Amino acid sequence: MIESIETKSNGTVYPKKITNKRDLYEHQKKAMANLDIINRNSSYSTLVVLPTGGGKTYTAAVWLLRNAIDRKKKILWIAHRQTLLDQAAETFITNPYSEFIPNISSFKYRIISGETKHDRTIDIEKDDNLLIISKDSIGRNLGALDKWLKGEDEIYFIVDEAHHSTAKTYRKVIDYVKSKVSNVKLIGLTATPFRTSDNEQGLLAKIYTDGIENGVFVHNDKGITYQISLKELINRQILSQPIIESYNTGEDYGKFIGAKDLETIQNLDILPEDLANEMVKNADRNKFIVETFVANKDKYGQTIVFALNVNHAIALSALFNHYGIKSGYVVSSVKDAITGVTRSREDNAAVYDAYSQGELQVLVNVNILTEGVDLPKTQTVFLTRPTVSKILMTQMIGRALRGEKAGGTKKAYIVSFIDNGLDKIAWSNPETIFEGNNDFADTKSEYEKRDIRLIAISKIEEFAKMLNDSADTKELEKAPFTQRIPIGMYAFTYLEENGMDISYQVMVYDSTKTAYEQLMESLPLLFKEYGNDEEYLSQDKLSNMAEQCRNTFFLGEMIPPYDEKDIINILKYYAQYEAAPNFYTFDELDKSKIDVCAIAKHIVEQKMDPVTQSAYIQQLWNDGDDNVLRLFFGRQKYFYNQLNREILRITSPFLFEDDEDNVVYGKRQFENMSLYEIGKVAPEYEKLLRDGAFAKAKTSDGQYVCACCGKNYPNRIMLQVDHISPLNKGGKTTPENLQILCRFCNAEKSDK
C-alpha cells in the first residue's frame, strides 16, 4: 500500500560539488558587497532595488546561501503570489554550490501557501532552515511561527515585491516576528520602491529605515542598501532597450463579456471559454497577427509568441509556416487537438533546440515560456492574449530583455495586440511594468504625463460613452463639453486576496471633485466607525460603506455621475494600506484642444467643404505625440461620432427637438418615495432633504446629535438619515418626518 508521494513543497537540499558557471554582473556584486556592509549590524531593515530583469531573486538567494544558510541562520521569505514562492524556492534549490555553503552538509526548505501543491502552516517544523510563505497564509496564523522562532536570536526576513509591504498583513507579520526575535535582519526586494502615493511612501520609510550611502551604514528615510536603474542596466547592455508597440486588431468581443465573466477574469486571469474560442477561430485576427510579423520580420528577428491556448498556438504556428516563416510550437504535455498525438517533453525540447540554433524564426507557446527556459537570442515577444496579471506580463516581457552583454540583443520589441469591447477589464500592459523602473523622464511633470498616458482603456470608455448614439446622453449633454472632461484621476494598485495585482483609476470631474476630496479626508473616521481591521473586506461591508459614502458625499446632480464601483475600489485600497490613493491632475493638458463643440463651431463658421473638413479633422487627430484627443477619445471613431453630432446640432437643430407629447402620464409624489428613489430622478431635492435633516440635528458647537442615543458626532460620515415614521407604516419623506441616527441606533431600529 502506497502511503506517501513525492512533493516539491519541502525537501532537503545538498551542496552541489560542481563549480558554478554563472558569472555575477557588476551590479549584483555591488549589491552583495553593500549587503555585507549592512550585515555587520545585529539588526536592520533595508531595501535592495533592482529593475525587472536585474536578477533580484538570484542576487538575494546567493547572498543568503553564503551569509545565512551557511551560518545555520534561519530565513523567512514572504511573498504575495504562489508564483513568486515557487520562483524563490527554485532559485535556492538550483544554486546551492559548495563554494556558497562550504560549512554545512545540507539544509531544509518548505513552501507554504493556500495552494494545494504547497504545505500548510501546521506543517512547519522546528528544523526547517528556509520557510517560503505566502503573506496571507502566515498572516492568518502567526502563532504557527512560534515553535520555529523559539530560541532564535537572529533571523533573516525577506519580503519579495517589497513595495507591497505597507499593506496591513505584511506589517502585522513583520511586527510579530520582531516581537519574538531580538535581531531581525529585514531585507525588502523590489523593482519599484516608490510606485506609491505620498502617504504610502511615508509608511514604506517607516518600515525600511537603514541603508548604505557611499559605503557607509546610514539610518534615514530612504532605507536602501543598493539601487540601480533600468536605464543604467540598459546602458551597460545587460538589459535590452525595450521598444513597446501595440496594434488594434479591429475585432470586437464585447458581447462575449458578461458580469460574471468580469469577476472571473479580474480575479483568476481566465478568459471565458466562448470568448477564447471565438478569438482562436477568428481567421482575420490570426492573419493580422502573422502579417504584422511578416511586414517587420527583419526588425523583429527571433520572436516568441504567447498564444491564448493550445489550439491557438497550433493554429498560429501553422499560419506562420503558411506565410513562409519557419515556426514551431511548444505546449504542455496534452493531446494535440489537430493530430491527436500527445506532445512529449522530447517534442518540446526538439523545438527549443531548433529555435536556439536559429532554425526557427518564431516560437509559439501558451504560458510555458514565462520562465526557466534560456532563449537569449529572442528579440521580440508577441502578446496575443490579454492578462490582468503583472507577474505574468513581467515574465512574458522578460523573455526578450536579455541585453548584448548577457548574450542577448540590443533592442527588445514588446508587441501587444488589442481587441475592442474588452475595455471593462483593467488589463495589465507592458508600459506599467516599466512604469516604476523608468527614470528616463527627468521631471515630476514628465512622470505624471506618462502615468496619464497609462489610463486604463475602461476609463477612456467612461469618458467616451457620451458618444454612443444608443445611450441616453441628454443629461450629460446639459453640461458644457469642457465640464465633461475629467480634471484628474486617483491612480492606485492593490492586492486581491488571491494575490492578484489590481490597477485601478478613478476619473474625477468638476462635479465630483469636492465629494472625492471630502471622502479622502474622512476615510480614517469611516474605517474607525465601521471597525475595520481586516485587510480584505466582505462584499456586504464594502456595499454598506459605499452606500454611506454615497449618502454623505455624492449628493445632488453630478454630470458625469459618480460610479459606486470606484468607491468600492478606493475602500479596498485603504483597507490594505491605510492611506488615500494618489491624485494626478490633468491641469497641464490643454483642454481647449478637446472641446468638440468649439471644433464643430469652427468648421461650420469656416464653411469647410467635405474634403477640407476631412483633412482638418485628420490633422487634429494626428497632431503631436501627446495629442489629448487621442488620449481621451482612445479611438478615432468616437471622436468623429461626437464631432458630427455637434455639427448637426449647429446646422440642423430641429433633429434634436423632442417629439410632440401625446400622452399625459400620472404623477408619483416625492413624499411617497424613499430618499434613494428621489435621488435617481431629483438628486438636488434629495440633497436638500438630507441637508435639512442634518441642519436640524446640528448643535451650537457644530456637531451632530443622534436623535436616539443622544451621542454627539463631529462628522456626517458616521450618521444616517432616518424616517421617524417608516414609509411602510404610512410615514412620508418630508422634512418633518426625517431625523438623524447613528449607524448603530438605525440598525437597532431596523431590527425592531
Asked if residue 438 has pLDDT above 70, the reply is no
499: left (phi over 0), alpha (psi -120 to 50) or beta: left
Least confident stretch, 38-42, 137-141, 242-246, 420-424: 420-424
Distance from C-alpha of 223 to C-alpha of 206, rounded to nearest angstrom = 9
Predicted pLDDT at 591: 67
**Which of 3-12, 16-25, 603-612, 686-695 ranks highest by mean pLDDT?**
686-695
Residue at 5: amino acid letter: I
Distance from C-alpha of 304 to C-alpha of 592, rounded to nearest angstrom = 43
Q: Note whether residue 234 is domain-resident.
A: no
Q: Specify whether 166 is located in the same domain as 207.
A: yes
Total domains present in the chain: 5
| φ and ψ of 538, to 5 deg | -70, 160
Q: Note whether residue 447 is domain-resident.
A: no
Q: Specify whether 623 is located in the same domain as 736.
A: no
Q: Specify whether 293 is located in the same domain as 146.
A: no
Mean pLDDT score across all residues of the chain: 83
Give the number of residues written for the chain.
Answer: 752
Q: Note whether residue 448 is domain-resident.
A: no
Residue of 154 and 496 predicted with greater confidence: 154
Asked if residue 696 has pLDDT above 90, the reply is yes
User: Alpha helices of 236-327 — where are they, by DSSP H?
Assistant: 259-268, 273-280, 283-295, 297-300, 310-322
Q: Note whether residue 210 is domain-resident.
A: yes
Q: Note whether residue 98 is domain-resident.
A: yes
Predicted pLDDT at 752: 64
Q: Note whether residue 449 is domain-resident.
A: no
Predicted pLDDT at 675: 93
Pull the grid cell for residue 541. 461591508
pLDDT, one tens digit per residue, over 196-253 is 445 556 678 889 999 999 899 998 777 999 998 877 888 888 888 888 888 888 888 8
Predicted pLDDT at 55: 86
Confidence class of residue 458 from pLDDT cuts 50, 70 and 90? very low
pLDDT, one tens digit per residue, over 540-575 is 999 999 999 999 999 988 877 788 989 999 999 999
Q: Note whether residue 31 is domain-resident.
A: yes
| Average pLDDT over every residue of 500-526 | 88
* Structural domain ending residue among the three candidates 377, 405, 440: 440
pTM value is: 0.72
Q: Specify whether 598 is located in the same domain as 730.
A: no
Distance from C-alpha of 79 to C-alpha of 114, rounded to nearest angstrom = 12
User: Alpha helices of 357-476 — where are they, by DSSP H?
Assistant: 390-398, 430-435, 444-453, 457-464
Most distant CA pair in the chain: distance in Å? 94
- 698: CB partners within 8 A, 6+ apart: 704
pLDDT, one tens digit per residue, over 97-110 is 999 999 999 999 99
Beta bridge partners of 217: 212
Q: Which candidate, 413, 419, 418, places its Cα nearest to that of 397?
A: 413
Q: Specify whether 338 is located in the same domain as 479.
A: no
Residue of 272 and 154 predicted with greater confidence: 154
Q: Specify whether 159 is located in the same domain as 302.
A: no
Domain that holds residue 707: 670-751
Radius of gyration of the chain (CA): 29
Q: Specify whether 388 is located in the same domain as 250.
A: yes
CATH code: domain of residue 685: 1.10.30.50
| Average pLDDT over every residue of 325-334 | 80
Count CB atoms within 10 A of the CB of residue 342.
10
Asked if residue 346 has pLDDT above 70, the reply is yes
| Average pLDDT over every residue of 11-25 | 92
Q: Specify whether 97 is located in the same domain as 184.
A: yes
Least confident stretch, 309-313, 587-591, 677-681: 587-591
Q: Specify whether 402 is located in the same domain as 276.
A: yes
Render 673-733 in DSSP notation, one character per residue. Answer: S-HHHHHHH-HHHHHHHHHHHHHHHB-TTS-EE-TTT--EES-GGGEEEEESS-GGGT---
pLDDT, one tens digit per residue, over 272-310 is 777 888 888 889 999 999 999 999 999 999 999 998 888
Predicted pLDDT at 456: 44
* Structural domain ending residue among the three candidates 557, 588, 619: 588
**Residue 356: enclosing H or E segment and its boundaries?**
helix 345-356
* Structural domain ending residue among the three candidates 388, 413, 440: 440
User: Could you tell me whether strands 362-365 and 303-306 are parallel, antiparallel, or unpaired per DSSP bridges?
Assistant: parallel
| Average pLDDT over every residue of 150-164 | 94
| Average pLDDT over every residue of 127-132 | 97
CATH code: domain of residue 435: 3.40.50.300
Pull the grid cell for residue 248. 488594434
Q: Specify whether 714 is located in the same domain as 608.
A: no
Q: Which candidate, 736, 694, 741, places its Cα nearest to that of 722?
A: 741
Q: Note whether residue 560 is domain-resident.
A: yes
Count CB atoms within 10 A of the CB of residue 719.
26
Predicted pLDDT at 469: 41
Q: Specify whether 197 is located in the same domain as 68.
A: yes
Q: Specify whether 425 is located in the same domain as 464.
A: no
**Which of 151-160, 233-242, 406-415, 481-490 ranks highest by mean pLDDT?**
151-160
User: Could you tell me whether strands 130-134 and 107-112 are parallel, antiparallel, or unpaired per DSSP bridges?
Assistant: parallel
Predicted pLDDT at 126: 96
**Which of 65-69, 85-89, 452-456 ranks highest by mean pLDDT?**
65-69
Predicted pLDDT at 288: 93
**Residue 136: enclosing H or E segment and its boundaries?**
helix 135-139
Percent over 70 (pLDDT), the chain:
81
